[in-house]
Chain A
């Protein structure tokens, strides 16, 4: 990340200048931190939007209630499980696509421009596009294609297990190009010497990939993983536009649940408690991943 590169030492009397320059930005920043702190405070209160007279500071009771709820543990499990599955699949496939695009072939430039298209789509529109294709009856194109292979129709967004897979498919369509392009950039920046050395040692194609390419690519893989983990933990738009947390709460992750508490049941306090748990998870994940990224970057002198 763009850190370092010694700056200009401020001249005498210019000490305040950087702070002055930062003031407008900081004002906006404080403007954002204020609602955040307010939200944190709400998570310690019993705040029902429709019953303001019940407002009371209740310390940690929201968090204790949440720990007694089985749905909380399901949401936690789904959130973590989803993020893990999304990252493994998207980084795995992304690596394959990157290797594919790293070869020289006719139309490579076109293909590379093509896979940018899903990347810039609003996630909610991506979800709607797939929702059309995932219609449960035989009118849905996906089911129609499956029927050509003799596979019975799947209720993509209406059954418990398929709905989770469907969310993953939609998310992957939107974000696979991101991973692929990061890894492709990594592949193209690799030094040439280790490959020559490997060739001299008579390494096989797989050996070169496993012992030369992969280790050198590690910082890029970790960077892509970082972004994907953080976004997968917080996935919301796609779920909201397709299953709205259903069927039977199967795709109800922490983010959706926090949203439901706040805007369906108007329990702002509980909603914020859920939000804070999710924030803590994201923070923890970012801490771990940033560390390992820094370590990998130092080792390979990115």
Chain B
């Protein structure tokens, strides 16, 4: 505890204090390097030509090129560049489509469900809530195998609607638990007052609950989208080349013959741009989101 009284009690001699400060500085520096360096390195790699990528020792200074980005976006091939993947814009669009679709569907079903779970007393309430939660912890393979078989039969394999349905496994439990935690933060008295004023449950929901939890819903929407964006294993087997999201698209640069390091690096960076931007808006809620509302 830094601010506690103990911080003053120990390290009283100047030398001890200097040592402590030095150790502290080193620790902070290590944390910064550990966190930032992988990003920095992938950025450098994405700006390198194929020969610079495999140069030993690794090159810190080199002639930067945007060819990797051109290759993944418009399929421009030049000189030593092997098979370029011009379909990355499509993968990006797929990610947006599938993630938004899944989040919207989860909201349609999740808003009334979480309102019921937050405000009403009924039989099997907690069991139902935990049933939703349990999907968060189930290994994806328990769903992926039967879904793969079902989707092949129903013609949902390699379709947006199929993927949106599969992504529900990620977004619905999250939406229900997050919204429930936000709804429960609204004081009961506000709701009772509205009821006394003659509002039906619908009026209460529309005029009290939803407006009051607007920020919470925005956070849930954004975080839900981000978690769907991160999904890899469902689309890995349920999507085809036309419906790959960016996560599956990024590993397409690894093949048995070779790894297109530069293009893979560029694709990886492009794939996380939305995440880095969106996380700015929900910084304070990320831990709450990752714990399904358990930690405020």
Contacts and interface: CB of A to CB of B under 8 A. Distances in A.
Contacts of B93: none
B112 interface: yes
A248 to B, nearest CB: 18
Interface in B91-127: 105-106, 108-110, 112-113, 115-122, 125-126
Given A32-B169, A116-B279, A24 B141 contact: no
Given A182-B295, A234-B139, A117 B276 contact: yes
Nearest to B121: A7
B286 A24 contact: no
Contacts of B35: 114-115, 117-118, 177
Interface in A101-134: 102-105, 107, 111, 113-126, 128-130, 132-133
A263 interface: yes
Given A114-B32, A138-B56, A39 B146 contact: yes
B45 A22 contact: no
B271 A125 contact: yes
A275 B139 contact: yes
Contacts of A126: 38
Interface residues of A, number: 111
A103 B295 CA distance: 21
Contact of B229 (A22, A122, A187): A122
A1 interface: yes
A255 B142 CA distance: 9
Given A114-B35, A199-B9, A120 B275 contact: yes
A32 B54 CA distance: 46
Contacts of A119: 279, 286, 290
A117 B232 contact: no
A38 interface: yes
A182 to B, nearest CB: 6
A204 interface: yes
Contacts of A32: 135, 143, 168-169, 172
B58 A144 contact: yes
Give chain B's interface residue range (CB within 8 Å of chain A).
35 or more
Given A35-B143, A100-B28, A282-B139, A22 B128 contact: yes
A31 B38 contact: no
A25 B112 contact: yes
A57 interface: no
A69 interface: no
A114 B36 contact: yes
A24 B110 CA distance: 8
Given A100-B28, A117-B39, A133-B41, A262 B141 contact: yes
Given A8-B120, A258-B141, A24 B191 contact: no
B112 A24 contact: yes
B231 to A, nearest CB: 8
A132 B45 contact: yes
A208 B56 CA distance: 50
Enumerate the 9 nearest inter-chain pairs by beta-carbon distance, A residue then B residue, closest first: A25-B113, A103-B2, A24-B109, A18-B120, A21-B116, A39-B146, A35-B146, A122-B230, A21-B112
26 contacts: A1-B294, A2-B293, A2-B294, A5-B184, A21-B115, A22-B117, A23-B112, A25-B113, A32-B168, A38-B146, A115-B31, A119-B290, A122-B247, A122-B275, A126-B38, A129-B39, A132-B261, A141-B41, A199-B9, A204-B9, A208-B1, A236-B139, A237-B232, A255-B141, A271-B145, A282-B138
Given A116-B279, A122-B230, 10 more contacts: A102-B2, A114-B32, A125-B268, A126-B38, A139-B56, A178-B290, A237-B233, A278-B141, A279-B139, A279-B142
